């Protein structure tokens, strides 16, 4: 059995400083966008927008603000599905397995090379595609191997979905989140 090679996180200089950014150029998909540090708040959304180093969208400005306000030395944005789509309705109807596998490889890199706290932050968007909960389970399995904590910020939806970062109060604080129970209960 062949062992999968975990990529090495590499930070480079972009507009606004030193960033994690994979891939290193603008593509129709993105695996990682964030700031370097040893104890990042790793925000898990549904799919990336057009944000890139030095040009954060309002959601990532909120992520950056809440990470700093709550004692994290950095933040990293990850997504359940790495396809960029400013409108989640434009996401692939069928997931591209190669993109999903590469996304998991980069998540393994973050988990292996930092001491993260995972932030469930996908809101009700997880209902946009039937494949999203299954991909989320694959990500959760990787965090379970290292007993990495999960948190949420803000109130959950009526169905129990964690709050999206864009609509959070500036003084929001993290609360423990049982992501496995959430997945078992909601899906």
Give residue-wise pLDDT tens across range 127-142.
999 999 999 999 999 9
Specify if 121 maps to a domain: yes
> What pLDDT, on a 0 to 100 scale, did the predictor assign at position 3?
59
Specify if 80 maps to a domain: yes
Specify if 129 maps to a domain: yes
- Directed axis angle between helix 132-145 and helix 97-113, to 10°? 30
Specify if 142 maps to a domain: yes
Tokens of 88: 């989640």
Distance CA 117, CA 80 (A): 16
> What pLDDT, on a 0 to 100 scale, did the predictor assign at position 16?
85
Angle among Cα 152, 154, 160 to the nearest 5 degrees reads 70
Specify if 38 maps to a domain: yes
Specify if 5 maps to a domain: no
Specify if 6 maps to a domain: no
Q: What are the pLDDT digits (tens) for 72-105?
A: 999 999 999 999 998 999 999 999 999 999 999 9
Owning domain of residue 152:
11-186
Please tell me the total count of domains within the chain: 1
Q: What are the pLDDT digits (tens) for 150-163?
A: 999 999 999 999 99
> What pLDDT, on a 0 to 100 scale, did the predictor assign at position 129?
97
Tokens of 54: 């030095």
Query: Residues 52-73: what's their mean pLDDT?
Result: 96
Tokens of 113: 């090379």
Specify if 4 maps to a domain: no
């Amino acid at each position: 059995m062949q062992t999968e090679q975990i990529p090495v996180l590499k930070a480079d200089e972009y507009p606004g400083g030193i960033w994690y950014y994979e891939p290193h150029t603008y593509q129709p998909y993105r695996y990682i966008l964030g700031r370097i540090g040893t104890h990042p708040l790793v925000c898990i959304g549904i799919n990336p927008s057009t944000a890139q180093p030095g040009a954060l969208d309002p959601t990532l400005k909120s992520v950056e603000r809440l990470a700093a306000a709550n004692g994290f030395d950095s933040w990293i944005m990850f997504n359940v599905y790495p396809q960029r789509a400013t409108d989640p309705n434009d996401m692939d109807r069928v997931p591209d397995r190669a993109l999903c596998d590469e996304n998991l490889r980069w998540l393994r890199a973050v988990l292996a090379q930092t001491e993260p706290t995972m932030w469930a932050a996908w809101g009700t968007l997880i209902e946009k595609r039937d494949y999203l909960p299954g991909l989320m389970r694959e990500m959760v399995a990787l965090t379970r191997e290292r007993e990495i904590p999960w948190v949420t910020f803000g109130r959950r939806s009526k169905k129990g979905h964690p709050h999206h970062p864009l609509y959070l109060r500036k003084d929001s604080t993290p609360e423990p989140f049982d992501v496995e129970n959430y997945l078992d209960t909601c899906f």
